[in-house]
């Protein structure tokens, strides 16, 4: 598994569960899921560090 595959893993798994091709028509869905996952992780880290 390459680094880029590891980073895109959450969105890829969600697309596969929905029965969509994450490399094709569901690329934007994969992008949105990854954005939400990594935004949540980043906000949690910032919350812990600042508070």
Q: pTM (2 decimals)?
A: 0.83
Which of helix, strand or coil describes residue 8?
coil
Model confidence at 51: pLDDT above 90: no
Report how far residue 3's alpha carbon sits from residue 51's, in angstroms, rounded to the nearest whole number: 31
The candidate with the shortest Cα–Cα distance to 32, out of 20, 50, 15, 49, is: 15
Tally of domains within the chain: 1
Model confidence at 13: pLDDT above 90: yes
* Residue range of the domain that includes 7: 3-50
The pLDDT of residue 34: 96
């Amino acid at each position: 598994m390459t680094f880029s595959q590891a980073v895109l893993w959450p969105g890829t798994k969600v697309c596969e569960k929905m029965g969509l091709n994450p490399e094709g028509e569901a690329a934007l869905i994969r992008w949105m899921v990854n954005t939400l996952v990594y935004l949540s992780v980043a906000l949690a880290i910032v919350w812990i560090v600042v508070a």
